[in-house]
Structures are given as structure tokens and as C-alpha cells.
Amino acid sequence: MEMKSYADLLDLQKVDLQIDRLLHDRENLPELVLYKTAHGKVEELTVAEADAVEQLKQTARSLDRTQGELGLAETKLEREQLRLYSGGMSARDADYLRREVEMLRSNKAKMEDELLRLMESSEDLEQAAEAAKTELEKLTIEKNRLAAVIKDEWRVLDAELARREARKAELLPSIDADMVALYEEQRALKGGVGVAALEDSVCGGCHLSLTAAEQLDAKRSDPPRCIHCRRILVV
């Protein structure tokens, strides 16, 4: 293989590492973590607000029903009390009506307690729904802000990626296809580094020294390979 091709292979490795770094940066923006957190909270608050609103509706229906029943109970109680106080009935009927009035009073008191409980619950639910709505609006604004920041940063990174990809496309035709295949295979196995230069008897990939005999053996190979890490070695 010609020296120019080996030099291009080293350039290809450099470009690929730059592409790897840019892709890593693209997927690991600090704002992405914050965005995901904000998105999760927005979803939680959306559910919380919807639940509070639905419970508020159910409570309002219960309030209306209880108020209606209480109104009927009050009317009946007033009617039965008037009958009791008007007299003109046997002792047995009067005793029965007296017990009926006591039961109606007890039921009325229970309904009043239930009405009070529902009113307090409604107030609590209104506050919860309003708090969730306020927090949701605030978080949605922050989520949208982060999305805009991420979009801008991705635009810059994608432009640089496009330049690196274009440079890679320029290099590939000058390198033998089999060599590219071997290089890609080693890249996958060796943490993204498939080729390394030999400088001062040290492999630039694994950073281990090669003896003079090992260097001679490497030069005789086609392509040269580091005896330690098996990366393509440019000597």
C-alpha cells in the first residue's frame, strides 16, 4: 500500500474520531438531561391537573346532589314538625311521628356534615388544580426554552458533522476498500481507533513499545499490524 494511502488512513481515523466526538456531544448535551427531566415533570403535572379537575367535577356533582337532597329533607322535616306540633292525633301516632321527626333531624345533620366536607374538599381540589396549572405553565415555558437551546446547539454540531462527513467522503476513494473494511473492523473492536502511527518505537493505539525486530516484522506485513493490539500500524 502506498504511503499516501496510509497517510489518508490516518487522516480518516482523525476525521472519524472527530465525528465520534461530535455525535457524543450531540447525544450528551447538558440541556438534554434538563429537558428530559422537565418533560417528565410536565407529563406528571398534566396528569395531576387532569385528575384534580376530574375530581373537582365529581365533587361538584356530589355537592349539587347533596344540596338537593338536603333541601328535600328540610322541607319534609318542616312539614312533619308542623304536623306534630299541630296536635289532633292519637298518642300512638304522635309517638311515631316524633320518632320520624328525630330521624329526619339526624339525617339532616348528616347531610349538612357531608355538605361541609364536600365544600372543603372542593376548595382543596381547586387549590391543587390551580397549583398544578401554575407549575405546569412554568415548566412548559422552561421545557420550550431548553428545546430551543438544544435545537440551536444541534444546528451548530450538525453543520460541523456535515463538514467532517464531507471530508471523510473525500478520503475514502484514495484508500483500498479491503483496508477500509479492516480499519472499520478494528475500530469496532478497539474503542473507535483502528489505525495508529508508530512513533519512537511506540504504537499510538495501545501505547506499547515495539522492539526493533517487532518493528521489522510489522513492516513486512501487509498491512502492518501492531503485535500488541493488532491495529493497523503506520510505520
The predicted-structure confidence for 168-204, as pLDDT tens digits, reads as follows 999 999 999 999 999 999 999 999 999 999 999 999 9
Q: What percent of the chain has pLDDT over 70?
A: 98
Per the prediction, the chain carries an average pLDDT of: 92
pLDDT of residue 6: 85
Q: CB burial class (10 A; 0-12, 13-18, 19+) of residue 233? A: buried
Split at pLDDT 50, 70, 90, the class of 4 is low
Greater model confidence, 217 or 2 = 217
Split at pLDDT 50, 70, 90, the class of 1 is very low
pLDDT digits (tens, 9 = 90+) for 10-28: 999 999 999 999 999 999 9
Q: What is the pTM of this model?
A: 0.69
pLDDT digits (tens, 9 = 90+) for 86-132: 877 888 888 888 899 899 999 999 999 999 999 999 999 999 889 99
Query: Out of 3.40.50.300, 3.40.640.10, 1.10.287.1490, 1.10.3720.10, which CATH number does the structure's domain 28-172 have?
Result: 1.10.287.1490
3-class secondary structure for the chain? CCHHHHHHHHHHHHHHHHHHHHHHHHHCCHHHHHHHHHHHHHHHHHHHHHHHHHHHHHHHHHHHHHHHHHHHHHHHHHHHHHHHHHCCCCHHHHHHHHHHHHHHHHHHHHHHHHHHHHHHHHHHHHHHHHHHHHHHHHHHHHHHHHHHHHHHHHHHHHHHHHHHHHHHHHHHHHCCHHHHHHHHHHHHHCCCCCEEEEECCEECCCCCECCHHHHHHHHHCCCCECCCCCCEEEC
